[in-house]
Structure 1
Amino acid sequence: MREHEESITLLGNNNVKYSSDYNPEVLETFENKHPGNDYFVKFNCPEFTSLCPITGQPDFATITISYVPAEKMVESKSLKLYLFSFRNHGDFHEDCVNIIMKDLIKLMDPKYIEVWGKFTPRGGISIDPYCNYGKPGTKWEDVAFDRMTHHDMYPEKIDNR
Structure 2
Amino acid sequence: MSTYTNAKELSNLVLGKTTDYCSQYNPELLQAVPRSLNRDSLGLKAEQLPFLGEDVWYGYELSWLNNKGKPVVAVAEFSFPCTSANIVESKSFKLYLNSFNQTKFSSWQQVESHLTADLSATAGATAKVKLFPVDNCPALSLPGDNAICIDDLDIEVNQYQLMPEILATANHAQESQVEEYLVCHLLKSNCLITNQPDWASIYISYSGKQICHETLLKYLISFRQHNEFHEQCVERIFCDIKHFCEVENLSVFARYTRRGGLDINPFRSTSHKTAPKLRTIRQ
Fold shared by both chains (TM-score > 0.5): yes
Residue of structure 2 in register with 1:52 after alignment: 191
1:126 and 2:263 aligned: yes
Identify which of structures 1 and 2 has the higher relative contact order when contacts are C-alpha pairs closer than 8 Å and 6+ apart.
1
Q: How many residues align?
A: 129
Distance 1:91 1:110, change over 3 A: same
Q: CA RMSD in A?
A: 2.4
CA–CA distance in 1 between the matches of 2:237 and 2:201?
13
In structure 1, list runs of 5 or more residues that go unmatched: 1-11, 134-143
Does the 8 Å contact 1:49/1:60 carry over to 2? yes
- 2:182 equivalent to 1:43: yes
Q: Name the % identity.
A: 29
The alpha carbon displacement at 1:13 in A equals: 9.6
Equivalent of residue 25 in structure 1, options 135, 142, 165: 165
Mark the CA change 1:157 to 1:64 in structure 2 (over 3 Å): closer, same or farther.
closer
1:151 aligns with 2:275: yes
The SS at the match of 2:182 is strand
SS at match of 1:74: coil
Aligned to 1:88: 225
Q: State the Cα distance separating 1:117 from its structure 2 match.
A: 0.4
Give the C-alpha shift of residue 54 in structure 1.
Answer: 0.5
Structure 2: any 5+ residue segments left out of the alignment? 1-152
Q: TM-score, normalised by structure 2?
A: 0.42
SS in 1 for 2:202: strand
TM-score, scaled to structure 1? 0.71
- Pairwise mapping of residues 75-114 of structure 1 onto structure 2 (< 5 A)? 75-114=212-251
Alpha-carbon distance in 2 for matches of 1:55, 1:127: 16
Matched, 1:34 2:34: no
The 1:42–1:55 alpha-carbon spacing in structure 2 relative to 1, beyond 3 Å, is same
State the Cα distance separating 1:151 from its structure 2 match: 3.5
CA distance in 2 between partners of 1:108 and 1:78 (Å): 11
